[in-house]
Chains A and B, each alone.
Chain A
């Protein structure tokens, strides 16, 4: 079964530290999404890429978050500096432009203390 791989699965860090989350999308999928899930807000779109080009990152706090796709097999989400309010589960998902629905990874559970 093809799947989206996210690392690390869990991350505990101190406020002010840099956090990098990685995602390996399904081979052949040309669209990659970053979502954040919290109890209060549910799943919120942070950014997405098509054919490695960023299409929309309006959901991200620009001063501290950045998302990149250095190549077709890797997407990264970076937070610098991290804050306690960034504590959430971060999901990466990938899909085909013409497909219905996306395949989600298992998420990175981030705790900032």
Chain B
């Protein structure tokens, strides 16, 4: 079992929909949680990060971590075609490199 599990999708939604992307992790030592966005044929780029449990909001994006259930979520409000990409969750404990999920491929249809 990988330390970070993520449903690969693909996920297809109409423009304007609310998107929910989710991951689970198994390592209780993980304290930092991140979401990366990867466009086709590009490297991943950091979208958001959170420390420990709680929510963090940045524009249309909200990251949520529930450490009690080891659950990581990313919500995208008013989704746009430009949000079409692969979204990767990642976690680490602070002393070790990031461990990534496999990524969820999202398509937002105009």
A contacts, CB < 8 Å to B? 4, 33, 35, 41-43, 45, 48, 56, 91, 93, 100-107
Query: Helix, strand, loop or mixed for chain A's interface?
Result: strand
Are A104 and B44 within 8 A (Cβ)?
Answer: yes
Interface centre among B34, B42, B44, B45 (most CB of A within 10 A): B44
Given A33-B97, A45-B97, A56-B97, A101 and B46 contact (CB-CB distance below 8 Å): yes
Q: How large is the interface on B (under 10, 10 to 19, 20 to 34, 35 or more residues)?
A: 10 to 19
Which residues 25-45 of B have a CB within 8 angstroms of A? 32, 34, 36, 41-45
Please name the residue on chain B nearest to A93 by beta carbon.
B43
B contacts, CB < 8 Å to A? 2, 32, 34, 36, 41-46, 49, 88, 97-103
Given A100-B32, A100-B34, A100-B49, A42 and B102 contact (CB-CB distance below 8 Å): yes
Complexed CA–CA distance, A75 and B40 (Å): 24
Are A104 and B45 within 8 A (Cβ)?
Answer: yes
Please name the residue on chain B nearest to A33 by beta carbon.
B97
Interface centre among A41, A48, A103, A104 (most CB of B within 10 A): A104
Given A42-B102, A101-B98, A104-B44, 13 extra CB contacts under 8 A: A42-B101, A42-B103, A43-B102, A48-B97, A56-B97, A91-B44, A100-B32, A100-B46, A100-B49, A103-B46, A105-B43, A106-B42, A106-B43
Please name the residue on chain A nearest to B103 by beta carbon.
A42
B34: chain A residues within 8 A (beta carbon): 100-101
